[in-house]
Structure formats: structure tokens, C-alpha cells
């Protein structure tokens, strides 16, 4: 029984990492819509950045498009995953870092993500990025 739980957690951890890998690839292709596929498409999604929390998938998409209007502004994204904890069969926590490489600068910071498995798919339900 313990072995099957460990295997499921390993599969879930890999599924969460796959979401982040797909997001990084979409971002680096200038595809914000593709990047947003990693988020829960719900009005209950929460994104917390440097200002106030943003509620909802569409509002989060609009925020990204406002702050990153083109591929040059988006730059090349690199995630550094520091920790992935699968808490149970439907919740996971991720701690990581992000860096953008752009022509004139290289901003970066850290993020914490709450993933939920909804209808069999791991999605970000809360993102706190600084």
C-alpha cells in the first residue's frame, strides 16, 4: 500500500513539473495564451504579484498581456524549482525562482504556487510571485 502511494505521489510530482515546463516553453515562444493553460480557468484563480491580488483567470491573462505586450518584453524565462510537495491526491505546493533574460535587463524573483488536481488535471489555483 505504501509503495502505491509513493508511486502516485511521484507521478503527481512529475505532472506538476510538466505543467511548469509547458508554461516555460509557451512563454519563451511568446505565447501568453499557452502559458495561461497552466492556470485554473476559473474566477476563483488568485494571482498575487507586487501590487494587489488579481482574481480570476481572465483578469490574470489581461494582467500578463498588459505587463508583457510583446516577445521582447517577455524575454526568455527560466524557472528554478526549489521544492515540489505533493500534499495529497489533489493538492501540491511549489516553491521556485524565475528569471527573465531580456535585451536590456534580467529581472527575477521567487514564487509559491498552490496546485490542485481538478478533473484529473493539475492546475495552478493560487500564484504568489515576487
Q: Where are the domains of the chain?
A: 2-129
Alpha carbons within 13 A on the beta-carbon side of 5: 6
Residue 114: phi and psi, rounded to 5, are -105, 115
**Residue range 96-121, pLDDT digits in tens:** 999 999 999 999 999 999 999 999 99
Q: Can you list the pairs that 22-27 forms with residues at least 24 positions away whose Cβ atoms lie under 8 Å? A: 23/79, 24/77, 24/78, 24/79, 27/74, 27/77
pLDDT for position 76:
98
**Tens of pLDDT, residues 51-87:** 899 999 999 999 999 999 999 999 999 999 999 999 9
Burial class (CB in 10 A: 0-12, 13-18, 19+), 113: buried
For residues 112 and 50, what is the distance between their CA atoms, to the nearest angstrom? 13
| Of 47, 56, 21, the residue nearest 35 (C-alpha) | 21
Q: What are phi and psi of 20, to 5 degrees?
A: -65, -35
CATH of domain 2-129: 3.10.450.50
Say what the pTM is.
0.93
pLDDT of residue 75: 97
Amino acid at each position: 500500500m505504501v509503495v502505491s502511494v509513493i508511486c502516485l505521489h511521484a507521478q503527481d510530482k512529475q505532472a506538476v513539473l510538466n505543467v511548469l515546463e509547458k508554461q516555460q516553453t509557451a512563454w519563451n515562444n511568446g505565447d501568453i495564451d499557452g502559458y495561461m493553460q497552466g492556470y485554473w480557468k476559473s474566477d476563483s484563480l488568485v494571482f498575487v504579484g507586487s501590487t494587489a491580488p488579481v482574481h480570476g483567470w481572465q483578469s490574470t491573462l489581461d494582467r500578463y498581456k498588459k505587463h508583457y505586450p510583446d516577445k521582447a518584453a517577455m524575454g526568455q524565462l527560466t524557472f528554478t524549482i526549489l521544492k515540489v510537495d505533493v500534499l495529497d491526491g489533489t493538492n501540491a505546493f511549489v516553491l521556485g525562482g524565475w528569471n527573465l533574460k531580456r535585451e536590456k535587463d534580467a529581472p527575477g524573483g521567487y514564487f509559491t504556487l498552490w496546485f490542485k488536481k481538478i478533473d484529473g488535471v493539475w492546475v495552478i489555483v493560487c500564484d504568489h510571485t515576487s
